[in-house]
């Protein structure tokens, strides 16, 4: 933070550790302890205690605590304390390579990159990501699924891939690329808003923002997928339906009463099935050059994963049994065409509105004396 950081002046006394007391060996306490056979530097307790291996440092000297005067999360460091801010990180890796620690350096760099990418996503959307750490069975962590790692990586590369997708497929798929650009636009639209608000991280706005971001996020893959599916048969169906519904646009989103999670799960399932179907169709009907499965498949997978990350890796939830009856219900809701377009339109409108402060106030229902 440097000079911009709030000044926190505190006076430190002459002897904050009170070494005058600690170093004084003529004290009553010191005398009694040595009388009873204690030697300076030794810990107390029974001689040759069987459990002495379990003693902690606190048995030798009092517990040191740090005054925490901020809300920094566990493991987070203040901006200025990060090595990369001074360019030290680059130097470190150069020196590391010179010392023949190629692999370690690479690992470290990758890790750093990951963190940065993650930070980028975080800044953009601000919602929470979680990585599965296994199950707590009784008192022990059991990790059968090593899914967490994959999910993490996928998550970060998601944005990149969508952007690169755009570049790669521009020529091939006009419709699709335009869709992608729309998303990009959305993201960009969001950016000024974020910047504006970053200064006053009002939680109200913050959460509202996350909500919209989340919605955008959720709707993205859906949208794409649907678009893909619709392309063949009902290409035009989404547009008229959306235009008709724009008139009553701020109406509640129809699928909201359904539990979001269940819906997501169901959608995922439906999507998977669709994907299979679609692939088969693609391979059969379309020319081989049009669809580039190596690019398409990973990107769609990553999208899928991104949605799961926002909630949880669905497959690892032990209650999957309960979701089966729900599938049919939400599966139906998924095929209801046009709804997603409405939703998408709604979101876009909201975003447009967010540029206009007056409209923003209306959306957030903030009453201001005008």
Partner 1 sequence: MATKREFDADDTSSAKRVKMENGNGSLDPASNPYLAHWNEPMAKKDPSNSADRLHSFKRHATTAKQAKAAEDGPINPFTGKTLSNNYFSILHKRRDLPVHQQREEFLKLYQESQILVFVGETGSGKTTQIPQFVLFDDLPQLNAKMVACTQPRRVAAMSVAQRVAEELDVELGAEVGYSIRFEDKTSPSTILKYMTDGMLLREAMHDNNLTRYSTIILDEAHERTLATDILMGLLKEVVLRRPDLKLIIMSATLDATKFQKYFHNAPLLAVPGRTHPVEIFYTPAPERDYVEAALRTVLQIHATEEEGDILLFLTGEEEIEDACRKINLETQDLIREDAAGPLTVYPLYGTLPPAQQQKIFSPAPPPLKPGGRPGRKCIVSTNIAETSLTIDGIVYVVDPGFSKQKVYNPRIRVESLLVSPISKASAQQRAGRAGRTRPGKCFRLYTESAFKKELIEQTYPEVLRSNLASTVLELKKLGIDDLVHFDLMDPPAPETLMRALEELNYLACLDDEGELTTLGRLASEFPLDPALAVMLVTSPEFYCSNEILSLTALLSVPQIFVRPASNRKRADEMKDLFAHPDGDHLTMLNVYHAFKSDDAQANPKQWCHDHFLSYRALQQADNVRLQLKRIMEREELELMSTPFENKKYYENIRRALVAGFFMQVAKREGNGKTYTTVKDEQNVLLHPSTVLAQDSEWVVYNEFVLTTKNYIRTVTAVKPEWLLDIAPNYYDLATFKKGEIKQALQRVVTKMERKEAEKGRR
Q: Which stretch binds partner 1 (CB under 8 A): 175-183, 256-264, 297-305, 332-340?
A: 256-264
CA–CA gap between residue 184 and residue 283 (Å, rounded)? 29
CA–CA gap between residue 217 and residue 210 (Å, rounded)? 10
Contact 88, 154 (CB under 8 A): no
Applying CB under 8 A, among 2, 6, 87, 257 the residue interacting with partner 1 is 257
x-or-dash string of contact with partner 1, 125-154, rule CB under 8 A: -xxxxxxxxxxxxxxxxx-----x---x--
Q: Which stretch binds partner 1 (CB under 8 A): 83-91, 162-170, 253-261, 339-347?
A: 253-261
CA–CA gap between residue 313 and residue 335 (Å, rounded)? 24
Q: Which stretch binds partner 1 (CB under 8 A): 113-121, 221-229, 268-276, 293-301?
A: 113-121
Instruction: Output the smallest distance, CB 71 to partner 1, in A.
Output: 4
x-or-dash string of contact with partner 1, 191-230, rule CB under 8 A: ----------x-xx-xxx-xx--x----------------
Structure tokens given for 26: 């003529």
Find the binding residues for partner 1 in span 286-325 (CB under 8 A): 310-312, 316-319
* 60: contact with partner 1 by CB under 8 A: yes
What is the CA angle 306-224-153, rounded to 5?
A: 20
CB nearer partner 1, residue 58 or residue 91: 58
Cβ atoms within 10 Å of 300's Cβ, excluding its own: 19
* 5: contact with partner 1 by CB under 8 A: no
CA–CA gap between residue 220 and residue 185 (Å, rounded)? 12
Q: Among residues 176, 185, 122, 175, which one has the least CA distance to residue 347?
A: 185
Applying CB under 8 A, among 260, 273, 356, 362 the residue interacting with partner 1 is 260
DSSP string, 152-187: HHHHHHHHHHHHHHHHHHTTT-HHHHHHHHHHHHHH
Instruction: Output the smallest distance, CB 80 to partner 1, in A.
Output: 14
């Amino acid at each position: 933070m440097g000079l911009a950081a709030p000044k926190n002046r505190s006076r430190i006394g002459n002897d904050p550790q009170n070494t005058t007391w600690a170093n004084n060996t003529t004290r009553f306490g010191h005398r009694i302890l040595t009388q009873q056979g204690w030697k300076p530097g030794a810990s107390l307790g029974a001689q040759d205690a069987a459990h002495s291996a379990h003693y902690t440092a606190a048995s030798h000297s009092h517990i040191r605590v740090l005054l925490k005067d901020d809300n920094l999360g566990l493991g987070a460091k203040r901006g200025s304390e990060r090595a990369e801010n001074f360019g030290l990180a680059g130097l470190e890796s150069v020196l590391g390579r010179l010392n023949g620690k190629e692999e370690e350096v690479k690992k470290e760099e990758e890790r750093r990159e990951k963190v940065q990418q993650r930070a980028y996503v975080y800044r953009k959307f601000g919602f929470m990501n979680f990585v599965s750490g296994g199950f707590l069975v009784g008192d022990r962590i059991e990790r059968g699924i090593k899914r967490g790692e994959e999910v993490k990586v996928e998550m970060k590369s998601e944005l990149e891939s969508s952007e690169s997708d755009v570049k790669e497929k521009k020529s091939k798929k006009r419709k699709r690329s335009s869709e992608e650009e729309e998303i990009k636009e959305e993201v960009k639209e969001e950016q000024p808003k974020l910047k504006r608000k970053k200064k006053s991280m009002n939680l109200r706005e913050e959460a509202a923002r996350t909500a919209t971001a989340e919605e955008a996020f959720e709707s993205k893959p859906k949208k794409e997928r649907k678009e893909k599916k619709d392309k063949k048969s009902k290409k035009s169906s989404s547009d008229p339906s959306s235009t008709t519904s724009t008139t009553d646009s701020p109406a509640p989103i129809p699928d909201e009463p359904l539990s979001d999670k269940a819906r997501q799960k169901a959608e995922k399932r439906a999507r998977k099935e669709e994907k299979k179907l679609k692939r088969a169709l693609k391979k059969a009907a379309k020319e081989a050059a049009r669809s580039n499965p190596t690019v398409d498949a990973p990107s769609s997978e990553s999208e899928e994963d991104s949605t799961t990350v926002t909630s949880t890796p669905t497959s690892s939830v032990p209650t999957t049994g309960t979701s089966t009856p729900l599938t049919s219900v939400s599966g139906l809701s998924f095929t209801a065409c046009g709804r997603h377009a409405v939703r998408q339109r709604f979101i876009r409108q909201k975003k447009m509105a967010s540029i206009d402060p007056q409209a923003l106030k209306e959306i957030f229902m903030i009453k201001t004396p005008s």
